[in-house]
Amino acid sequence: MVIDILNEIKRSPGSNAKKEILSVNAGNVLLRKILLYGLDQFTPFNIVKVPKVTERSILPDENDRWSRFFDVADRCISREISGNDAIGDMHEALSCADADEEMWMRRILRKHLAIGASTKTVNKVFPGLIPTFDVSLAQKFDHARVAEKSTVCVEPKLDGIRCFAIVRDGEAQLFARSGKMITNFDNTIGRDIAGLGDGCYDGELMGEDFVSLMRQAYRKEGVDTSATYLSLFDFLSLDEWKSGNTTMTCRDRYKELSQRVGAKKCESVKVITRYEIVPDIEKIETLHRIFVDAGFEGAMIKDLDAPYKFGRGYEVMKLKSFHDVDLIIDSLEEGTGKHVGKLGSVTVTFNGVEVRVGSGFSDALRETVWQSPKDFIGRMIEVRYQEVTPDGSLRFPTFVCFRNDR
């Protein structure tokens, strides 16, 4: 049975072992379909919680049981059925399966297979099976890339959480840069951006400060979203996002974005201000200094004629006085002096070089980490630094936050 394969994958430690199981079962069409429906975060089922099954009429054939489930799932995706009709048909489909199969079907509906295999792992065995989340990312500023342009646009570099909002049929889903869903703002930002019309809206969640913003974005209770808003800087049509082929220029995308937001009164959604200038290096550096003095991270320089780039490219470049990198905590070290009995520093690895990060931690966080060190080893943190030293280490590394969105 296919659920035996799923359980084997779940129990197996390490991505290599999981990939081996997937490879052995590469010809299992049903397994591939389960992985697709369970890991594809961009195709919602549009169905709320389905009541518990109390009476079953189990179909004798495994393929028939799963076919019944996927048939209803497809009709929910296309909105052929919705509301109580969708709930009723899905409940009937679940009642045709046994209890173990029902558990996996419900995991698919929640988009949470929990088998310990990421989209990246699955796509290594089944290339292109699961749609990936490739938002535009900036390269470091290189003036030669824009020197021959008549004009470029320069925007302040925001210090928030990257947020890519997809609106379909008047309903919005918010995603972090990694593709992880952000649901704590559905009733505020999600509601406002849903009114802008179908499309993809690219921006950053902003708040009073970055650490507080991270806490509000991913905490499970006691969420306070009153000080959070979405600052938008780009737009894509649904067709362009789905196909991965874009033709609309940066200039035209910003115009479309501004018109959509300008036509609505959105308390929690704003469009970032941009400046179109001749790409003179002194003018760009002057704007950079103005942005930094105003509290921004730096400047973003964009090619006005470029289409949206999926992934990292020189269509968008960043100019900063410092740099950030996400690294995994390898080990912890106790502090000295006033930090005895607390965290002193963490060790991370940057391009094969061990780096100690000891600043940026509050006293309360130092105590919390040292009380439960095993809970923090292996977690990803954002580290801010001035430059890479000649020996490959980081100059003035400082802890910024835990990256719960990655």
Identify the domain boundary among 252, 286, 321: 321
Identify the domain boundary among 125, 141, 170: 125
* Secondary structure element (H or E) that encloses residue 186, with its range: none
The answer on 287 and 356 residing in a single domain is no
Q: How confident is the model at residue 93, as a pLDDT?
A: 97
Q: What is the pLDDT of residues 217-258, one digit of tens each?
A: 666 566 666 778 999 999 999 999 888 889 999 999 999 999
The answer on 76 and 12 residing in a single domain is yes
- CB count within 10 Å of CB 93 equals 23
Identify the domain boundary among 101, 125, 149: 125
What the block records as the tokens of 243 is: 């196909």
Q: Name residue, tokens 């359980």.
A: 7
The answer on 314 and 361 residing in a single domain is no
The answer on 364 and 351 residing in a single domain is yes
The answer on 148 and 288 residing in a single domain is yes
136 beta partners? 311
Q: What is the pLDDT of residues 312-328, one digit of tens each?
A: 999 999 998 788 899 99
The answer on 198 and 152 residing in a single domain is no
The answer on 398 and 357 residing in a single domain is yes
Average confidence score pLDDT of the chain = 91
Contacts of residue 168, Cβ cutoff 8 Å, sequence gap at least 6? 44, 198, 238
The total of structural domains in the chain comes to 4
The answer on 312 and 205 residing in a single domain is no
Q: How confident is the model at residue 180, as a pLDDT?
A: 78
302 beta partners? 153, 316
The answer on 188 and 139 residing in a single domain is no
Q: Rounded to two decimals, what is the model's pTM?
A: 0.64
The answer on 286 and 218 residing in a single domain is no
Contacts of residue 46, Cβ cutoff 8 Å, sequence gap at least 6? 76, 77, 79, 82, 86, 171
Cα within 13 Å of Cα(361), Cβ side: 23
Residue of 23, 29, 97, 130 lying closest to 9 (CA atoms): 23
Sheet containing 181-182: give its strands across: 181-182, 171-175, 161-168, 199-206, 229-236, 269-271
The answer on 308 and 262 residing in a single domain is no
* Secondary structure element (H or E) that encloses residue 116, with its range: none
The answer on 281 and 140 residing in a single domain is yes
How many whole angstroms separate alpha carbon 264 and alpha carbon 209?
Answer: 27
Which CATH number is 285's domain given?
Answer: 3.30.1490.70
- Domain span holding position 152: 133-157+275-321
**Confidence tier at 383 by pLDDT (50, 70, 90):** very high
